[in-house]
Chain A
Amino acid sequence: MDAISITGLAKSYGTTLALDGLDMSVATGEIHGFLGPNGAGKTTTLRILLGLARADRGTAVLLGGDPWADAVDLHGRLAYVPGEVQLWPTLTGGEAIDLLGRLRGGLDEGKRRKLVERFQLDQTKKGNTYSTGNRQKVALVAALCSDVELLILDEPTLGLDPLMEALFREVISEERAAGKTVLLASHILAEVEALCDRVTIIRAGRAIESGTLADLRHLTRTSMTAHLTGPPDGLSSLPGVHDLIVDDQVAHFQVDTDKIDKVLRHLVDIGVHDLESRPPTLEELFLRHYRDDPAELAQ
């Protein structure tokens, strides 16, 4: 059974339409990337899943329950890290970790010690003296040291330095190995690319793409740079080749991923002494989806 399944979810705030018929599902045991620019509706979706906001229309099923009606029972089985962590000014980080863990139903002290050490978190500071990144670490440790089935993370690496970001990826991979499900909302593509099994891309309150990274890449182009030994005859008219630039004997172009074999054959005929091929990055996928060109989107 899916850990999360959402169909036709809609939510508006006054005249602003935050969600407009969102469909998505997260399978149990996977790390699911939830990608979208600011204001696309990611946080609204998470708040509905957490029972903090009620959907106007549509259904959401979370761990087999109703996120609004069964909120308290479900919350014992999940942990949440908000996008912008605020701590209580008079409580230390350690106290906040204990409090949140206990309210969730208990925390694993051994795991907490290890996480605090790995994230190099000073637990004795008061909540209002932490930097943004350190507040984020407090929230991450608090979420990760409980034994829960599902982690809901909203831009969890905001404010973390690159070393800590790498550590975060390591820790999340371990969580997957331990059988947990992770829903990771982000607009940092490298993070999603490195971690996620499947991705849902949301735009203006709707899911516009969903699938494994391989599925999504299929929809796009591979960048190639070929050092040719012969003239690049016929390359520009070959179906599937785009944006060809020939500079001396070096050809730069993009290929529709499903036409690659034909293009390769043609290159071999011309003669190649070096070939670089780069799979499309999520960045490119993303740009394609967010380019504000309705005609292109319709294709």
Chain B
Amino acid sequence: MNLFAGTGSLIRLALRRDRIRLAIWILLLAVLPVITAASFAELYPEAAAREQIAATLGSSPAIGVLLGPLYSSSIGGLTAWRLAVPASLLIALMTSFTVVRHTRAEEEAGRSDLLGANVVGRRAPLTAALVVAVGASVVAAAVAAGGLVAADLPVSGALAFGAAMAAAGVVFSAVAAVAAQLWHGSSAARGAAVGVLGISFMLRAAGDSTSGVEWLSWISPLGWSQRLRAFGDERWWVLAIPLVVGLILVATAFVLSTRRDVGSGILATKPGPEAAAASLRSPLALAWRLHKGALIGWIIGFVGLGTVMGTSATTFADLFAESPELARLVEQLGGEEGLADAYISAMLGVFAIVASAYGIQAALRLRTEETVGRASPLLATAVPRWRWEGSHLVFALLGPVLLLLVGGLAIGVAYGISIDDIGGTVVDTLGGALVQLPAVWVLSGLAAALFGVAPRFTLLAWGALVVVFLLGQLGPILQLDQWVLDMSPFTHVPQVPGGEVTATPLLWLGAVAAGLTLIGFAGFARRDVG
């Protein structure tokens, strides 16, 4: 039988299932560059102002951690620099989730057998998933490039920017394709793909901020996106790297897929204990088993990122002090220390958004358990609904506390070592991390409330996170009205370290979060399960 038979039908099926999901991703990816370019054009219409920005920010190791090197002070160059990493990250998430969703997750759910019994070739599901994922990145890249051209930016730069985005999509589709062959469970495969993404980010962050190890960026897929130098002096040959790596990975995935049965993974699942440990006797103990792996992964990510950020905080301040005019500005801001403080508090703001993503994910685990059908048997035992719901919400509310603590601690220790004052910096950064919590809890609470009252619309919690993220990133650049910015809980978080802390906004945020969580409990107590 033709190994690829039925690929076309599977592609149509995947597009039908993902039509909204992919449309949102593509819209987000296509709109971001256009908005960013427009805002740079509005804020810095003059080349001199842009050169100043480029000179200060573009060569800073600290900014290098987050965004990487800057190759041109043109509007296109600034846009490419600002977005190369975020857009590659987003496209990597889109493609790897899409590939796993249509391969391993389908096998896990047993639907592949249903399809496999029809005229569907053994290689068709993987081929279809790759075509859809790569196709979506190409579409997003093309729309983004088109938007940049329409904004009067150079065509070659716009094409290079789009090509870099699509290339990241190719690499991470292929990474996910391999992961989907190795592991039996879809969550393990997704976790592996995200892990590769995390490692790519760390390699690139280290390579772009530390002299002597620049080569690290060259082994990171996220680094390749920048080294194409869109709107700079484009180096098209760099594109060959992601394409070759992608092809090798895809070939590997196909070879692996022929060496295993449908439904099984290359890495065998180990048998476990015949009976449960004495401690596995409560919903909370079960929730711990279900959340443990992901939580540990997130903690490792926060420690790694915190360390890199903390280390680069001083170089950030040094850099500003080198230029006389900026030094004066720095004085006004409270000296070098004040500047480092501002940098750290901004970084903690980023951490808080990421911790909110964990909170939402942990809260929505409730909905997954419910729809998959694992909640009913549990709730048919002598477990009150609030205890089951609470067992997962504990992770949604306390997980972010843990993440922000270890993240703040890592920044504080790394920064403290670099300025020889661990005691002082750790207290500051921990404080800065903790003031973010009420705002994070608002988002966890929103997810809980949706689960209780409008379970079919729990995805809105992710929508809220995207809005909050965009308001934080683009709000100041777009000079939006204050009331718009005020919709984001993070607008109300005081700047720590460095700023004044007033209790009122924190108490308000806490009250809103508590109210939303209670709505979540009250709603679930009243509604049908399943």
Question: Which A positions have Cβ atoms within 8 angstroms of B?
Answer: 47, 50-54, 71-73, 75-76, 78-80, 82, 84-92, 94-95, 97-100, 102-105, 122-126, 128-129, 132, 139, 152
Contacts and interface: CB of A to CB of B under 8 A. Distances in A.
A234 to B, nearest CB: 56
Chain A CB within 10 A, most for which of B110, B273, B377: B377
A98 B289 contact: no
Contacts of B270: 126
A95 B273 contact: yes
B372 A86 contact: yes
A72 B276 contact: no
Contacts of B379: 50-52, 71
A3 B393 CA distance: 36
A225 to B, nearest CB: 41
A90 B369 CA distance: 13
Interface on chain B toward A: helix, strand, loop, or mixed SS? loop
B268 to A, nearest CB: 10
Contact of A124 (B272, B289, B382): B272
Contact of A104 (B286, B293, B381, B526): B381
Given A47-B528, A128-B108, A92 B378 contact: no
Given A95-B272, A99-B276, A90 B380 contact: no
A92 B529 CA distance: 25
A173 to B, nearest CB: 23
A47 B373 CA distance: 12
A76 B293 CA distance: 31
Contact of A99 (B185, B281, B372, B382): B281
Chain B CB within 10 A, most for which of A71, A76, A78, A122: A71
B274 interface: yes
24 contacts: A47-B528, A50-B380, A52-B530, A53-B530, A54-B526, A72-B382, A86-B373, A88-B286, A88-B289, A88-B290, A89-B185, A94-B275, A95-B280, A98-B280, A99-B280, A100-B377, A103-B283, A124-B274, A125-B271, A126-B269, A126-B272, A128-B108, A128-B184, A139-B377
Interface on chain A toward B: helix, strand, loop, or mixed SS? mixed
Contact of A52 (B276, B384, B528): B528
Interface residues of B, number: 37
A90 B383 contact: no
Which 6 A-B residue pairings sit nearest by Cβ, starting from the closest? A98-B276, A92-B272, A124-B271, A103-B381, A95-B276, A80-B380
A82 B276 contact: no
Nearest to A132: B110
Chain B CB within 10 A, most for which of A97, A98, A103: A103
Contacts of B260: none
A152 to B, nearest CB: 8
A105 B376 CA distance: 17
A123 B374 contact: no
Given A52-B376, A92-B272, A139-B377, A75 B280 contact: no
Nearest to B277: A95
A122 B381 CA distance: 24
Contact of B377 (A54, A80, A124): A80
B187 interface: yes
A205 B185 CA distance: 38
A52 B380 contact: yes
A103 B274 contact: no
Contacts of B374: 86-88
Nearest to A80: B380
Interface in B366-419: 372-374, 376-384
A185 to B, nearest CB: 14
B290 A90 contact: yes
Contacts of B383: 72, 75, 103
B290 A95 contact: no
Contacts of A125: 269, 271-272
Given A82-B376, A88-B290, A102-B281, A47 B530 contact: yes
Chain A CB within 10 A, most for which of B110, B289, B528, B529: B528
B382 A103 contact: yes
Nearest to B264: A129
Nearest to B385: A71
Contacts of A94: 272-276
Contact of A82 (B110, B272, B377, B526): B377
A79 to B, nearest CB: 8
Contacts of B530: 47, 52-53
A98 to B, nearest CB: 4
Given A47-B530, A84-B373, A73 B382 contact: yes
Contact of B529 (A52, A80, A87, A129): A52
